[in-house]
Structure formats: structure tokens, C-alpha cells
Amino acid sequence: PMLWDTSTGKRVPVEFEINERLASMMRITGMDLSADGSRLAYGTLWGGPSYAAILDTATGKELWNTGRQKGRVHCVQFSNDGKWLASTAGRANAHQMSLWDVSSGVEIKRWTYPYDSNHKNATAVKFLSFSGDGSRLLLSGAHIPVAVWSLD
């Protein structure tokens, strides 16, 4: 990925530590930039281990990654205050959604979302969003029922 300065229209010269094979094979799925622009999160659906990771946008260095997830990571989303990262991992007939502490990389909470669908694309979460007040998470995708979780 490349960052651009929107005030100048010029590329920010930072090299991100992302496995070249991931980038060249288009295995990077979800990406999100923290509200303050200091962190970049991405998810993978590599043929092997799938994970989510956070990079420092000033240095391009990986700060942490989730380690192998059970299923393909399709979405990552920062909370509005930048304190949390949500990630989804889809597999046959269930999704795992995790909430991570951005500063430490510790998994705070994990939900499993079972569903009944025979459609081949039902494992692809397409939408993941925090509510404006940060109290809920919304998940949805093609052939997947909408789910809303309370973070209380």
C-alpha cells in the first residue's frame, strides 16, 4: 500500500512491511486507517495462515498481528477513537469476530456467529462497522444475515 498526502497530492515515502507475496497475489483483503492516520490495519486470506495486522504509518513497521485465525480474514475496522480493532474470520457456516486492543494487540473479546447457508460466498464478510458511539459492532455480507453485537 501507498499513502498519499491529501493536502499536497504527493506520495508519503514509507515502505510498509507487508509480505510481497501477499500484495502481489492480491491476498490482502480488508484495510482500514485509524482516524488519526497513525495506524494501518489489514487482513489476509492467504492460502496458509490468515491474520490481521497493524502497521505504523510513520515507519511502515508491523506493530503486531493477530496470529493465525480460524478462517479467512475479510474485514478489519478501527473504532472511531482508535482504541479497538475489530476483525472477522469466515469459515464454513460460522464467523469469528474479534475485538483487539490496538495498543497491546491483546484479544479483548471473541464472538462466534453461526449461520445456515449453502451459498459458496457466504463466508465473505463484506461490511464491518462500529456504531458512532462505539457501543456496537455491525457485521454483514452477501448471503449472511446482519448481526449487531453490544460491546458492553
Rounded Cα–Cα distance for residues 63 and 141 (Å): 29
Beta bridge partners of 90: 72, 95
More confident residue, 17 or 129: 129
Write out the three cell numbers for 33: 486507517
Rounded Cα–Cα distance for residues 116 and 94 (Å): 8
For range 102-117, the mean pLDDT: 83
Structure pTM?
0.82
Burial of residue 104 (CB within 10 Å: 0-12, 13-18, 19+) is: exposed
